[in-house]
Amino acid sequence: MTKFLITPSLLSSFAWYLSDESKDSRKKFLNTLGKVKTPTTPAQQKGLDFEARINEFCGQFISGIYEYDIIARDIANIVKGGLWQQACKKDLQVGDKEFLLYGKMDVVKRDTIYDIKFTSNYELGKFLNSAQHLIYLYCTGLPKFQYLISDGKDYWIEDYHNHADIENEIKNKITYFLSYLKNDQEAKELFETKWGAKND
């Protein structure tokens, strides 16, 4: 039986597509399903630069001055000593289908997984429905997950904890995704051809 890969970015892209009715959101969703490489947007680049700067502050060599250095240094103080870009994976059976949950964590340190977010419009609970903390907590078995969210001027933390029902929460998200695919042939074919776990 084919095992399919499920990543937080796939489920995020699906959730974003459902919540955003613009034509662009379907294109983005199909690009994710088709694993189409798209140019990095300015907003994505800002996030990548911010994360890279935090990484730099965690090391020994810091070059030049960056716009958001004060906050980057504060966040670096939280994640310093952690391991960057560690992969995590775990098998999960949903109904009669087998899946491989997979992700790369920004930073993992002692008992906590950290994910660094850069956003211009943070509101409380923004990441509550994200699959990211569920999948990473489930794959690693670690007790804590923190989103470190910044707009460059300030930062906020959203805490999530591992709990007994986390497997069911992931299963519900995957079940919802699969039930959607039944009615979207184009998306279903892309998923079945591009997301076989052996391809990765």
* Count of residues engaged in binding other proteins, rule: CB under 8 A: 23
Cβ(99)–Cβ(3) below 8 Å: yes
Cβ(131)–Cβ(173) below 8 Å: yes
Binding mask 77-116 for other proteins (x = CB under 8 A): ------x--x---------------------xxxx-----
User: Least separation, in Å, of the C-beta of 58 and other proteins?
Assistant: 14
User: Least separation, in Å, of the C-beta of 40 and other proteins?
Assistant: 26
Distance (Å, whole) CA 61 – CA 177? 44
DSSP-derived pairing of the beta strands 155-161 and 144-150: antiparallel
User: At a CB cut-off of 8 Å and minimum separation 6, what does 161 contact?
Assistant: 137, 143, 144, 145
Which residue, 156 or 176, is less far from other proteins as judged by CB? 156
Which residue, 65 or 124, is less far from other proteins as judged by CB? 124
User: Least separation, in Å, of the C-beta of 41 and other proteins?
Assistant: 21
Which residue, 90 or 97, is less far from other proteins as judged by CB? 90
Distance (Å, whole) CA 2 – CA 197? 8
Binding mask 117-156 for other proteins (x = CB under 8 A): -----xxxx--xx----------xxxxx---------x-x
Give 196's strand partners.
4
Tokens 């919802």 belong to residue: 176
Strand boundaries in 29-96, DSSP class E: 83-94
The correct pick among 36, 93, 161, 186 for binding other proteins (CB under 8 A) is 161
Q: Which amino acid is at 14?
A: F
Cβ(4)–Cβ(197) below 8 Å: yes
Contact between 165 and other proteins per CB under 8 A? no
Q: Which amino acid is at 63?
A: S
User: Least separation, in Å, of the C-beta of 43 and other proteins?
Assistant: 19
User: Least separation, in Å, of the C-beta of 111 and other proteins?
Assistant: 5
Contact residues for other proteins, defined by CB under 8 A: 19, 83, 86, 108-111, 122-125, 128-129, 140-144, 154, 156-157, 159, 161
